[in-house]
């Protein structure tokens, strides 16, 4: 968020006014008109419903109780930022020995005699109150170009000193990240902190201390990647990698979609340490449009990121304007969630218009703490229209996507039925529970179109060509064109959306048929989940247009399908033949470089394609010899096979390479590898 500073005197006046006003605010802290509150709706479905607070608010139990009606997680607006923990004017230096006695983390490469003292008193108080009230907290923020004292980057921690070199700053960065996080997780109340905005607004940094030391890189900012790795090492130390998640947080993300995706993918090169994107959402009814905003949201979801809406407020021209915008916005957000989008938290940036950081505006859905505005009702209405009333759905926990799906844990349902076989050909797929058919929504012939269930009408969007592959799976090609049934982003998660995508025959487009106790009825396992999850009609519903996703096997009829032969003589789709390439020089000016990191039982290959052709390259293909390289998993690319070669092609955001530019991606394999391999770059 933008700077959010309040002079001490003004803060005290506001605090007194707030406490005084709280005594006289409406005694009813429940929402006044909505049938359900945000915790019963968004908190139950998304996992977390949040708000922004300050410690002085948390000291008042009535304010805390009012906030708890709608929130189960809070973000401190100021008290966890670097200038609050370190002091903004000058450093209070202590010796390394004293720092160690206080429990600070001192890296082995830290060469200085002193470190700045970190003042945890206020934030410790806030964390303790949250812990005692069953509230979780978002750590906001560790690395930011704003509200970070300039002396942190200078020699001797002096505001007049020269900027330090990168080696010194690396040690200071590791000291700060690990000392702050370790302070909480080594204490009694550490379980309160479940998310961290490790880095904030890197894409908008201008002339910051970080850039003075490390350079002005944005989408490949090395200090950002280091900060995430240091933070993840803390989670590993305290065995929290499955319960705490790290995010990159930024504003105007709808205007920076490609750069955000590039930065997060850069952070995750080699190892996934960043769960996804915190979309600060300081919106206005005049800009961005609801569609513009949700296009960005869906782009991040398609990129495989977990998304959290972290700082939501909406400037407006009055109640009617706010009501209309909030309703349409949340209809779109809920639609993305219903379609399998991994959205796990929505945080409003302030508990009421009286506490907003935006002067002379009324951008929130509460007029005073605990007093809802009409827009509150519209937000709840958008939820119930999408998901039904609370009680009609089962809240699903948010699951962290893993780079490589793991086998089914013990205790989960396992499908022990035998593998089935169906001949190649055109079929309708009818769900036995709803008696409706697998349908491309809107009969839309485009990549990314959604798949749902629909009444049988003989549409091309209900016709699927079964092709048996040579590895025991099938693909399902739509009659609408060269599109295959596809698990969004090749995800292994419950709820991952099913749609159609350009046919390439990768794991996301391969399925395994299993027999059921009824002859001619099958379940359809997804290869991307390692056959743990199955094609599933969402929430057992039978109504027209219900979404289709993947879900853990449990053998109910909404996971069972009948393959009905299409009577007409349809043209059999033919796969586009890919000739076995002969290694040859790459296109002049388009070059591949790579590094190989061996660790005995496996290896990682990091690839870089550079463009010096003199023109922008739109689309590229890399073919790598399978006899020399084994690819078990990859990132930032799509991988298929043809003969003796892996065929590597780009994802949407890195298909175009500007002249003088480059893109990077990687793969991991098991076994041994030499120092080089044959390839063709086209």
Q: Which of 393, 413, 438 is the last residue of a domain?
A: 393
Map 505-558 to HEC letters: CCHHHCEEEEECCCCCEEEEEEHHHCCCEEEEEHHHCCCCCCEEEEEECCCCHH
Rounded to two decimals, the pTM is 0.57
In this structure, how many other beta carbons lie within 10 angstroms of the beta carbon of residue 170?
20
Catalytic residue check, 311: yes
Q: Do 192 and 81 share a structural domain?
A: yes
Q: Are 506 and 471 in contact (CB under 8 A)?
A: no
Distances (CA, A) of 40 to 47, 325, 527, 561: 11, 22, 35, 34
**Count of helices and strands (H, E) across the chain:** 14, 35
Q: If DSSP codes are grouped into helix, strand and coil, which group holds residue 92?
A: coil
List 254's β-bridge partners, or say none: none
Is there a single domain that holds both residue 462 and residue 553?
Answer: yes
For residues 268 and 293, membership in a common domain is answered with no
Does 416 map to a domain? no
Q: Which residues pair with 345 in a beta bridge?
A: 48, 308
pLDDT on residue 601: 52
User: 366, 32 in Cβ contact below 8 A?
Assistant: no
Contact predicate 483/445, CB 8 Å: yes
484 and 470 share one domain: yes
CATH assignment of the domain containing 436: 2.80.10.50
Q: In whole numbers, what is the pLDDT of the chain averaged over residues?
A: 85
Q: Which residues pair with 663 in a beta bridge?
A: 609
Q: What is the pLDDT of residue 3?
A: 40
Cβ proximity of 403 and 667 under 8 Å = no
Q: Are 290 and 325 in contact (CB under 8 A)?
A: yes
User: What pLDDT is recorded for position 674?
Assistant: 76
Q: Does residue 447 lie in a domain region? A: yes
In a domain, 24, yes or no: no
Residues 484 and 447 in one domain: yes
Asked if 531 is an active-site residue, the reply is: no
Give the residues of the chain that fall short of pLDDT 70: 1-34, 392-413, 568-587, 597-604, 632-636, 652-653, 668, 670-672
Residue found under tokens 């948010």: 398
Round to whole Å and give the CA distance between 262 and 266.
6
Mark whether 85 and 234 lie in a shared domain: yes
Q: Of 242, 261, 280, which one is at a domain's C-terminal end?
A: 280
Element at 123 (helix H, strand E): helix 121-132
CATH of the domain at 622: 2.60.40.290
At 417, list the tokens: 């039925």
pLDDT digits (tens, 9 = 90+) for 143-155: 999 889 999 999 9
Residue 164: which CATH number? 3.20.20.80
Domain with 459 in it: 425-565
Does 228 lie in the same domain as 91?
yes
Task: Please indicate, yes or no, whether residues 215 and 272 belong to a single structural domain of this protein.
Answer: yes
Q: Which of 311, 378, 493, 664 is catalytic?
A: 311
User: Is 161 among the domain residues?
Assistant: yes
Burial classification of residue 6, based on how many CB atoms lie within 10 Å of its CB (0-12 exposed, 13-18 middle, 19 or more buried): middle
Picking from 245, 280, 315, the residue at the C-terminal end of a domain is 280
Asked if residue 578 is part of any domain, the answer here is no
CB 514 within 8 A of CB 523: yes
- DSSP per residue, 305-333: -EEEEEEEEEE-SSHHHHHHHHHHHHHHH
- Specify if 412 maps to a domain: no
Q: 557 and 608, same structural domain?
A: no
* Residues 372 and 356 occupy one common structural domain: yes
For the stretch 322-333, pLDDT in tens is: 999 999 999 999
Residue 135 lies in a domain: yes
What was the pLDDT predicted at 506? 82
440 and 549 co-located in one domain: yes
Q: Are 122 and 87 contacting, i.e. CB atoms less than 8 angstroms apart?
A: no
| Selected catalytic residue, list 201, 256, 306, 441 | 201
Phi then psi for residue 101, to 5 deg, are -65, -30
Same domain, 266 and 165: yes
Residue environment code for 423-459, b if the CB has 16+ CB neighbours within 10 A, otherwise e: eeebbbbbbbbbebbbbbbebbbebbbbbbbbeeeeb
Question: Is residue 264 situated within a structural domain?
Answer: yes
pLDDT of residue 15: 41
What's the domain count of the chain? 4
């Amino acid at each position: 968020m933008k700077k959010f500073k309040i002079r001490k005197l003004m803060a005290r006046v506001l605090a007194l006014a707030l406490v005084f006003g709280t005594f006289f605010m409406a005694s009813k802290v429940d929402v006044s008109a909505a049938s359900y509150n945000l915790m019963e709706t968004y908190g139950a479905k998304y996992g977390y419903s949040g708000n922004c607070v300050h410690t002085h608010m948390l000291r008042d139990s009535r304010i805390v109780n009012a906030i708890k009606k709608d929130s189960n997680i809070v973000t401190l607006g100021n008290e966890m930022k670097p200038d609050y923990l370190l002091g903004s004017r000058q450093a209070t230096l202590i010796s390394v020995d004293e720092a160690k006695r206080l429990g600070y983390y001192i890296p082995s490469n830290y060469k200085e005699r002193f470190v700045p003292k970190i003042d945890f008193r206020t934030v410790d108080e806030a964390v303790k109150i949250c812990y005692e009230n069953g509230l979780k907290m978002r750590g906001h923020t560790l690395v930011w170009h704003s509200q970070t004292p300039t002396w942190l980057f200078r020699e001797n921690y002096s505001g007049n000193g020269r900027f330090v070199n990168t080696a010194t700053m690396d040690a200071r960065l590791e000291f700060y990240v690990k000392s702050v996080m370790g302070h909480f997780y080594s204490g009694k109340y550490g379980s309160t902190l479940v998310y961290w905005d490790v880095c904030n607004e890197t894409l908008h940094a201008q002339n910051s201390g970080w850039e003075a030391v490390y350079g002005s890189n944005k989408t490949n900012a090395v200090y950002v990647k280091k900060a995430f790795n240091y933070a993840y090492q803390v989670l590993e130390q305290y065995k929290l990698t499955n319960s705490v998640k790290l995010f990159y947080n930024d504003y105007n993300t709808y205007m920076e979609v490609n750069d955000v995706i590039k930065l997060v993918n850069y952070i995750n090169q080699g190892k996934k340490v960043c769960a996804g994107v915190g979309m600060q959402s300081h919106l206005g009814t005049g800009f961005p449009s609801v569609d513009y905003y949700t296009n960005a949201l869906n782009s991040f979801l398609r990129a495989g990121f977990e998304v959290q809406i972290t700082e939501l407020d909406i400037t407006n021209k009055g109640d009617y304007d706010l009501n209309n915008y909030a309703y349409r916005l949340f209809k779109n957000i809920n639609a993305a969630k219903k379609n399998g989008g991994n959205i796990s938290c929505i945080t409003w940036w302030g508990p009421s218009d009286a506490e907003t950081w935006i002067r002379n505006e009324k951008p929130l859905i509460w007029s005073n703490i605990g007093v809802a505005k009409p827009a509150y009702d519209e937000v709840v209405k958008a939820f119930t229209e999408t998901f039904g009333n609370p009680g009609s759905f089962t809240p699903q926990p948010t699951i962290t996507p893993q780079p490589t799906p793991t086998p089914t844990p013990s205790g989960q349902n396992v499908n022990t039925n035998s593998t089935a076989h169906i001949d190649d050909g055109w079929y309708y797929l009818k769900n036995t529970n709803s008696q409706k058919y697998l349908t491309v929504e809107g009969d839309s012939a485009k990549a990314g179109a959604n798949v749902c269930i629909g009444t049988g009408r003989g549409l091309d969007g209900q016709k699927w060509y079964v092709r048996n592959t040579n590895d025991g799976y099938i693909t399902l090609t739509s009659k609408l064109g060269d599109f295959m049934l596809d698990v969004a982003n090749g995800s292994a998660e419950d709820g991952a959306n099913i749609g159609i995508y350009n046919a390439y025959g990768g794991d996301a487009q391969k399925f395994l048929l299993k027999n059921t106790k009824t002859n001619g009825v099958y379940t359809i396992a997804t290869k991307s989940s390692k056959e743990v999850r199955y094609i599933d009609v969402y929430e057992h519903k039978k109504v027209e247009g219900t979404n289709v996703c993947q879900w853990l096997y449990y053998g109910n009829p909404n996971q069972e399908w009948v393959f009905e032969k299409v009577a007409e003589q349809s043209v059999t789709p033919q796969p586009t033949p890919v000739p076995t390439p002969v290694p040859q020089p790459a296109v002049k000016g388009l070059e591949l470089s790579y590094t190989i990191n061996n660790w005995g039982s496996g290896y990682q290959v990091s690839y870089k394609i550079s463009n010096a052709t003199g023109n922008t390259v739109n689309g590229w293909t890399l073919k790598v010899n399978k006899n020399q390289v084994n690819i078990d998993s990859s990132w930032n690319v799509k991988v298929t096979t043809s003969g003796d070669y892996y065929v590597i092609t780009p994802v949407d955001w890195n298909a175009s390479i500007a002249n003088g530019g480059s893109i990077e991606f990687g793969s991991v394999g098991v076994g041994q590898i030499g120092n080089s391999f044959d390839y063709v770059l086209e």
